[in-house]
């Protein structure tokens, strides 16, 4: 055996490790002019070190990828919700982003007092569910804790009116998940037929404390991004659902929409890219009946 072989092997190992880190940290989003750029994160409101570290990573990447708003996927505030908690669990960690005019659009998680809808920095306009438009993208913020018939009727009306825009609902409970809580099948029975009927393109949810990208279901891309502070390490079970998952550390997403393409990159607390890719917009608004989609109401 060549006496230098172990040393060479070690050097190669270090080189490939460094390359992997460098590649992992690379920002791959195209940053095209006039694109819609945003961050996505959920289950953030602990006020602990992990939340602050994820927030710091977001701030760092905001310098390279100046996103203009963020989707907060619920559990914005764990435990008490006193004024000092809003400061500790939201205003302080995201201060550089707030100062940099990044808007936050929140939805309610099961740990959130519904009166958060009156908190202006969450941009909910005093409503438990609402929609807003950025460029050619229509977002639908839903209250998945309390999916009353009025909300379903409202969603259908809004989806119908959104025409050929990109359609992106976001809410707390994932319709598909390989984690501890699992896919929310009751909620899915109510929402998915509408998503299919009106050509929803992508869906963001939290609740599970990890990152997961689901293999497209009925042409829809589902993302779970609920690890912006809490983590359920090793919680992603091996199922046929997962296209990509990360449950070893906290994470958040960066997203860019330009024309018919949505680019995403998922970043860990340490700044490593744990997933990335692109999805294309589905055919612009082709009404279909739920019956033709094969989606029924599970029991």
Residues that bind another protein (CB under 8 A): 79-83, 85-87, 110-115, 118-121, 124-126, 144-150, 173, 181-182, 184-187, 189-190, 297-299
Which CB sits closer to another protein, 287 or 298? 298
Q: CB burial class (10 A; 0-12, 13-18, 19+) of residue 77?
A: buried
The minimum distance between CB 37 and another protein, in angstroms, equals: 25
55 vs 4: CA distance, rounded Å: 45
Which CB sits closer to another protein, 77 or 196? 77
129 vs 146: CA distance, rounded Å: 10
The minimum distance between CB 250 and another protein, in angstroms, equals: 20
The minimum distance between CB 205 and another protein, in angstroms, equals: 13
The minimum distance between CB 251 and another protein, in angstroms, equals: 22
Which CB sits closer to another protein, 112 or 256? 112
Which CB sits closer to another protein, 194 or 267? 194
The minimum distance between CB 262 and another protein, in angstroms, equals: 28
- In this structure, the number of other CB atoms found within 10 A of the CB of residue 138 comes to 21
Which CB sits closer to another protein, 186 or 261? 186
H-type alpha helices, 167-261: 185-197
21 vs 13: CA distance, rounded Å: 12
Which CB sits closer to another protein, 4 or 289? 289
Sign of torsion over alpha carbons 23, 18, 62, 70 = positive
- In this structure, the number of other CB atoms found within 10 A of the CB of residue 152 comes to 14
297 vs 295: CA distance, rounded Å: 7
CA distances from 88 to 95, 137, 292 (A): 10, 32, 49
Which CB sits closer to another protein, 114 or 259? 114
110 vs 62: CA distance, rounded Å: 29
The minimum distance between CB 188 and another protein, in angstroms, equals: 10
The minimum distance between CB 149 and another protein, in angstroms, equals: 6
Of residues 187, 191, 225, 186, the one with CA closest to residue 206: 225
Write down the residue that tokens 């008490």 correspond to.
80
């Amino acid at each position: 055996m060549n006496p230098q072989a172990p040393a060479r092997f070690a050097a190669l190992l270090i080189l490939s490790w460094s390359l992997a880190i460098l590649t992992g940290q690379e920002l791959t989003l195209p940053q095209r002019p006039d694109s819609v750029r945003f961050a996505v994160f959920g289950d953030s409101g602990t006020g602990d070190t992990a939340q602050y570290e994820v927030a710091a990573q977001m701030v760092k990447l905001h310098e390279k990828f100046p996103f203009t708003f963020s989707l907060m996927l619920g559990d914005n505030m764990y435990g008490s919700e006193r004024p000092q908690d809003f400061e500790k669990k939201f205003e302080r960690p995201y201060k550089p982003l707030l100062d940099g005019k990044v808007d936050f659009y929140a939805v309610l998680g099961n740990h959130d007092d519904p009166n958060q809808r009156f908190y202006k920095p969450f941009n909910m306009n005093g409503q438990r569910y609402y929609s807003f438009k950025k460029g050619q993208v229509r977002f639908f913020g839903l209250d998945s804790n309390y999916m009353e018939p009025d909300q379903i009727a409202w969603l259908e009306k809004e989806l119908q009116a959104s025409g050929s825009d990109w359609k992106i609902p976001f809410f707390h409970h994932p319709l598909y998940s390989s984690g501890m809580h699992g896919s929310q099948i009751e909620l899915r029975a109510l929402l998915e037929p509408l998503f299919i009927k009106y050509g929803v393109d992508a869906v963001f949810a939290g609740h599970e404390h990890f990152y997961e990208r689901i293999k497209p279901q009925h042409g829809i891309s589902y993302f779970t991004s609920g690890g912006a502070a809490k983590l359920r390490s090793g919680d992603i079970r091996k199922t046929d659902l997962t296209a990509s998952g990360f449950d070893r550390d906290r994470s958040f997403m960066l997203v860019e929409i330009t024309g018919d393409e949505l680019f995403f990159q998922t970043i860990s607390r340490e700044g490593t890219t744990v997933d990335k890719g692109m999805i294309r917009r589905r055919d612009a608004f082709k009404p279909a009946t739920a019956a033709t989609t094969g989606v029924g109401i599970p029991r």
